Amino acid sequence: MSVAGDTAILVPFPQLDAVIERWLGAADEPGLPAHVTVLYPFRPFGEIIEHDLDRIRRITADEPLEPVTFARCGRFPEVVYLDPQPGERFRRLTTTLADAFPDCPPYGGVFDDIVPHLTVSGGTASRLDEIEGELDQYLPITVEPDSVWLMHFDGLVWRCELRAPFGGDVSPGR
């Protein structure tokens, strides 16, 4: 569960909100769109400076606009997710951001392998089987993400503090 001041850098897929909303549970985070996380946790919100925002903008400006396809589901223990392809794009973005912010290892350094994913829901194995079966009717879904968002949890909801476009403008501005 998030704590006030938490931040995350993610690639949003609001086009998928309507697809996955029926499976979201009470533990889901208000204000977060459907997304693939690329760096969490990031710096506490009060410690982020303009130089950090500029660095994020420069990194995303080097990322091309290209489609992402969700054609299958994947599983973690007690979680079903959509598998974004090409997954390498998200691994590269995570690695580049983590290298730029070495004090912010992905997922706090808990996992050796970063698996790009768009979380749909948690639950028991039978419930996840049911969700996967229902999700199959919507797949494949191809969308073209255009930016990363720096999100901030204010204690009640997640808010977007920065939209940094792919292949885009590096001028300052939130």
pLDDT digits over 145-164, tens only? 999 999 999 999 999 999 99
pLDDT exceeds cutoff 60 at 173: no
Question: How far apart (Å, rounded) are the C-alpha atoms in residues 139 and 71?
Answer: 5
pLDDT digits over 8-40, tens only? 999 999 999 999 998 876 557 889 999 999 999
The percentage of residues in the chain with a pLDDT greater than 70, rounded to a whole number, is 95
Cα–Cα nearest to 11, from 72, 65, 51:
65
- Chain centre to alpha carbon of residue 30: 14
Bridge partners (DSSP) listed for residue 149: 10, 163
Answer yes or no: pTM beyond 0.85.
yes
Residue ranges of domains in the chain, CATH in brackets: 7-165 (3.90.1140.10)
pLDDT for 29 equals 84
174 vs 69: which has the higher pLDDT: 69
pLDDT digits over 119-135, tens only? 999 999 999 999 999 99
Q: In this structure, are residues 168 and 61 in contact, taking their beta carbons and an 8 Å threshold?
A: yes
pLDDT for 77 equals 92
pLDDT for 1 equals 74
pLDDT exceeds cutoff 70 at 174: no
Mean pLDDT of the chain: 93
